[in-house]
Structure 1
Amino acid sequence: MARQKKRADGRYCKNVTIGRNEDGSYKRKMVYADTQKELELKVAELKLNVENGTLVDDENMTVEIWANKWLETYKNNIATNSIKNYKTTIKNHIAPEIGHIKLKDLREKHVQQLVNKKSESGLTRGTDYIVMTMKQMLKKAVKNGYIAKNVAEDIEKPKYDKQTKKPLTEHEIDIIKKTAQTHRGGPFILTLLYTGMRRGEIVPLTWNDIDFRNRVIKVNKAVEFVHGRPNIKSTKTYTSVRNIPMLDIVYDTLKEIKKSTNSLYVFTSTFNEIHTQNSLKNLFNGFKNECTKIAGYEFEFTLHQLRHTCATMLYNAGVGAKDTQDWMGHSTIAITMDIYTHLDKQNKVAALDKMNKHVNTMQKEAL
């Protein structure tokens, strides 16, 4: 009977006989575990599967087969959008490139070559998902004893130059406010701009979440769109659950809406129901079209840009980073500080430009 051994990496292993090959020789499988107790349990489970005829043929298991099995086993209870991202990553990127390779034959170079190829093609966020997916699925493959090592463990995410998020200018905000006076999407847009809420947080907002007495909006749920239909769920992170103070413009806007609605939801479609993905798209595009008419040029902005503009206004108003984190619902203070640091740099550049102009003007006058 094979004895268990302790490997150089600290893990325990044991070679277990699971049957015979076609030539009559013994067919064996190496089992790995972090502790002796875990090893004993895995060996017992393996022997039980052999006896019951339910042993998975991991000798011929490919990367694609395991990726789909991993997805089905370990990702069946996550958010719809998240599982969609995993499925897309496996179907469009992992399976076509390395899906045919047997799991036991997969090497670090295969994963790195995949990551390099996708990165060089201009895929940024998608490449991040490839690295994240490979690391997670191979970690579980090691836990299940299909492979001895996670060959994606040391693969690094490519570093990209972050695209600068631009807040709206004062002129652009003025155009939005003018449009909001007459367009039905005005209250929705203004509330986003002056609260910094995410799209998924404002859509399921109910009147029970509006505390006029204490002038706060209670953010306690979110929505994701599944096949275009709204699905209400918990917020993005625990820090997303928060009370946002109502500025006067938001307070007055919501008070006005309340006078003429009997809906449960604060912002509704033309059918007086919670927004679908399509009704929200139509509302936003219609609002931008009106902005274009007022501006006299193609007026473009995103809903997330409204959120970034709110964070910028908090910075310009002198609100501290910790208070801004609480207001915006950032998961970490690092996210807030990243915005504040970037704005600090912008202000220093602007101050330098002003100083240069002032000095140059003085020199010209002296001549």
Structure 2
Amino acid sequence: MRKRRGKGAGTIYRHKGSGRWCAELEVGRKPDGKPLRVRGYFPTRREAEGWLAEQAALNFKGLLADPSSITVQEWALRWLERKAREVRPNTLAAYHRELSLALPSLKNPQAHEGLSSRKLQEVKPAHIRALIDDLSKRYDLRTIRHVRQRLAHLFEEALRLE
């Protein structure tokens, strides 16, 4: 009986057309909910296994996604996933609540407005300022401060990992 890989460890199979080995790893979800995968094709199974192990390690660290194509919403979801391993559940719920004020698509995936659908590398300070100004019309100063702190943590980590 063949050994099975663990959850999130990817898959390796022989490509029918070319006969090469294909290594495939799911690295996240697209905004529409479909899986986002990376693939590599190799002449030997051993090379495919090595590449897959590297990609899995990068994915675990959050470094795998193409920085030019990732949206703010995708990055926020990954950031929250990483924070889930570091903070308590109530803290995580507060982070999610604060970020969802700035990024409504975290609550409702169909709401792609404002910052959520913008590419992470395209966000400018003016966009953040406009968002904070808009939120200040509806929320208390303390809430705005918390939202701004969450956004700052989100973008600081993105810059650090870039």
Q: Into which bin does the TM-score normalised by the smaller protein fall?
A: 0.5 to 0.7
Q: Which amino acid aligns with 2:148?
A: V
Q: CA 1:75–1:132 in structure 2 vs 1: closer, same or farther (change >3 Å)?
A: farther
Q: Select which of 83, 88, 93 maps to 1:74.
A: 83
Give the distance between the partners of 2:143 and 2:129, measured in 1 at CA.
14
Q: Select which of 73, 82, 103 maps to 1:94.
A: 103
Q: Which amino acid aligns with 1:69?
A: R
Percent of aligned pairs with the same residue?
19
Give the distance between the partners of 1:68 and 1:59, measured in 2 at CA.
17
Residue 56 of structure 1 aligns to a residue whose secondary structure is: coil
| Deviation per residue, 1:191-218 (Å, 9 max, x gap) | xxxxxxxxxxxxxxxxxxxxxxxxxxxx
Q: Select which of 114, 118, 137 maps to 2:135.
A: 118
Give the distance between the partners of 2:104 and 2:51, measured in 1 at CA.
31
Residue 137 of structure 1 and its aligned partner are, at CA, apart by 1.0
| Deviation per residue, 1:236-264 (Å, 9 max, x gap) | xxxxxxxxxxxxxxxxxxxxxxxxxxxxx
Are 1:104 and 2:113 counterparts?
A: no
Partner of 1:52: 51
Partner of 1:235: none
Residue 119 of structure 1 and its aligned partner are, at CA, apart by 0.8
Partner of 1:148: none
Where does 1:74-223 land on structure 2 (aligned, <5 Å)? 74-96=83-105, 97-145=114-162
Q: Kindly indicate whether the alpha-carbon contact (under 8 Å) linking 1:61 and 1:102 is maintained by their aligned counterparts in 2.
A: yes
Residue 57 of structure 1 and its aligned partner are, at CA, apart by 2.0
Residue 74 of structure 1 and its aligned partner are, at CA, apart by 3.3
Which of structures 1 and 2 has the bigger CA Rg?
Answer: 1
Residue 61 of structure 1 aligns to a residue whose secondary structure is: coil
Greater relative CO (CA pairs within 8 A, separation 6+): 2
Residue 79 of structure 1 and its aligned partner are, at CA, apart by 2.4
Give the distance between the partners of 1:124 and 1:75, measured in 2 at CA.
26
Gaps of 5+ in 1: 1-50, 146-367
Residue 91 of structure 1 and its aligned partner are, at CA, apart by 2.5
Give the distance between the partners of 2:93 and 2:69, measured in 1 at CA.
27
Q: Kindly indicate whether the alpha-carbon contact (under 8 Å) linking 2:99 and 2:151 is maintained by their aligned counterparts in 1.
A: no
Residue 68 of structure 1 and its aligned partner are, at CA, apart by 1.1
Matched residues, number: 95
Q: CA 1:132–1:107 in structure 2 vs 1: closer, same or farther (change >3 Å)?
A: same
TM-score of the superposed pair, with normalisation by structure 1: 0.24
Give the distance between the partners of 1:78 and 1:68, measured in 2 at CA.
15
Residue 77 of structure 1 aligns to a residue whose secondary structure is: coil
Aligned-CA RMSD value: 2.0
Partner of 1:245: none
Q: Which amino acid aligns with 2:122?
A: D
| Deviation per residue, 1:52-83 (Å, 9 max, x gap) | 37342221100111011011113433122211
Q: Which amino acid aligns with 2:160?
A: K
Q: Which amino acid aligns with 2:149?
A: M
Q: Which amino acid aligns with 1:122?
A: Y
Q: CA 1:118–1:138 in structure 2 vs 1: closer, same or farther (change >3 Å)?
A: same
Give the distance between the partners of 1:79 and 1:101, measured in 2 at CA.
29
| Deviation per residue, 1:81-110 (Å, 9 max, x gap) | 211111112223324431111001000011
Residue 117 of structure 2 aligns to a residue whose secondary structure is: coil
Q: Which amino acid aligns with 1:62?
A: T
Q: CA 1:83–1:74 in structure 2 vs 1: closer, same or farther (change >3 Å)?
A: closer
Q: Kindly indicate whether the alpha-carbon contact (under 8 Å) linking 1:62 and 1:101 is maintained by their aligned counterparts in 2.
A: yes
Give the distance between the partners of 1:130 and 1:122, measured in 2 at CA.
10
Gaps of 5+ in 2: 1-49, 56-63, 106-113
Q: Kindly indicate whether the alpha-carbon contact (under 8 Å) linking 1:64 and 1:95 is maintained by their aligned counterparts in 2.
A: no
Residue 103 of structure 2 aligns to a residue whose secondary structure is: helix
